[in-house]
Amino acid sequence: MTDSSRVNWKSLVQPDGTPIEYSWKWPQAGAGAPEIRYDFEPIGAQAGTEWDPLCQLAAKELMGRLAMNITEARVDNTWFYHFMSTLFEHDSTKLMAAAARGEHISSTVLMAAEFLPRGVSFKSYIQPRLLGYPGVTPVSVYESSIAGIESSTPARTAVHDFLRTSEEGKLMCPFSVGVDNRPGSRLKWYFNSPHTSFASVRSILTLDGRIQSPHLEGQLRDLEELIRSVLGLPDDFPETEHPAVFLGAKSPYNLPPPPPPPPAQDSPGVDASTPVTFAPGYPYYFDVAPGQDLPGVKWSLPVRNYNIGDLQVAKAFTAWMEKQGRGAYCKRYMSLLARLAATKGTTLEESKGLQEFISVMLKPNGEIDVTTYLAALAFSEAEEGKPAGSLPSPGRRTRRRGSDC
């Protein structure tokens, strides 16, 4: 492990500043091996300084090098560069002045490398940073940027209608866009919901009934069972109640609320209704790429918010996978967790926080895509007891995958 006090930029990939995370996308029954992915934040030597206040130079250089040197990956950075040019303040002087005033300046570009049977592929995740929005960048900013590279699509129209008319949709906060760095990319639009009731999950995954399939009710029952078992909820827990409230969920980031927005005269055109409140909830993404009438919707359970032991989570999760007929890799998963716990100097029985997220997408054909996200634990044990904001950093953190929006 590394002493995190020596790093020049504290990433928000993980609460301790570790800039790496692992994930397993689990195979369907009898369908090969898990797909392995590394999520990471490229960090350059000038990150956090006036030369690179948003820690973006390393990511831009990396994507250019990947396109030149790994030709078989067919890297296409068109969408990446578009969002980088339209979703950020590019005046370093203004950014450094904003940081001095106490505005959040932190991680804005995360990346992923996927190792698949057909070869390696890359992804980018972009979290906007525009001056005048100290809390959540509003939907209109994303819409304007997306419209600059993609004409209106039925899937995006459906999402916009849901956000505008649904009681659950009105509460959702956007926090990122994600693209596959290859031709024919998906366009993933990330949001956080402050609600954690199963009724809210149903509403969002179906866009209030807009998304239908013959398999949907069975998939939703399976998902509800997964949530109950992993969180240890009682069998009679009402679907209208919120597990985050019942269990006292708390984000491990311990972020302070953002500063109040500047006066309107100082930020012309800024929407005064931009939300600025933060609470642990559930993150989602909507895939609004061209070619589909309705978006794919993915939900994530931020396990790390619930202070549950890793062994308890793993046993409940693997039991659910085995019930789904997908238990072929469960023993290897348990072994992996034990090895990760050992790198932390503990046992799986004592460990918490190795399993960060469990994400689910309900497919129209009845399949359920499942991915587990695992902590890399790069920093030394001595640093872990410190409050989340206590380590030296040139900037202040914002949201990580929506769990604090």
**Do 105 and 396 contact (CB within 8 A), yes or no?**
yes
Res. 1 pLDDT band, cuts 50 70 90: low
Beta bridge partners of 196: none
Distance CA 20, CA 15 (A): 11
Predicted confidence band of residue 299 (pLDDT cuts 50, 70, 90)? very high
Cα–Cα distances in Å, from 195 out to 10, 173, 192, 336? 29, 11, 9, 32
Taking residues 369-378, report their average pLDDT. Answer: 91
Confidence of residue 377 (pLDDT cuts 50, 70, 90): confident
pLDDT (tens digit, 9 = 90+) per residue, 128-180? 998 877 678 999 999 999 999 888 889 999 999 999 999 999 999 999 999 99
pLDDT in tens, 47-72: 989 999 999 999 999 999 999 999 99
Is residue 196 a contact partner of residue 172, using CB atoms and an 8 Å limit? no
Exposure letters 363-401 (e unless 16+ CB within 10 A, then b):
eeeeebebbbbbbbbbbeeebeeeebeebebbbbbbbbb
Q: Which amino acid is at 287?
A: D
Residue appearing with tokens 């029952």: 221
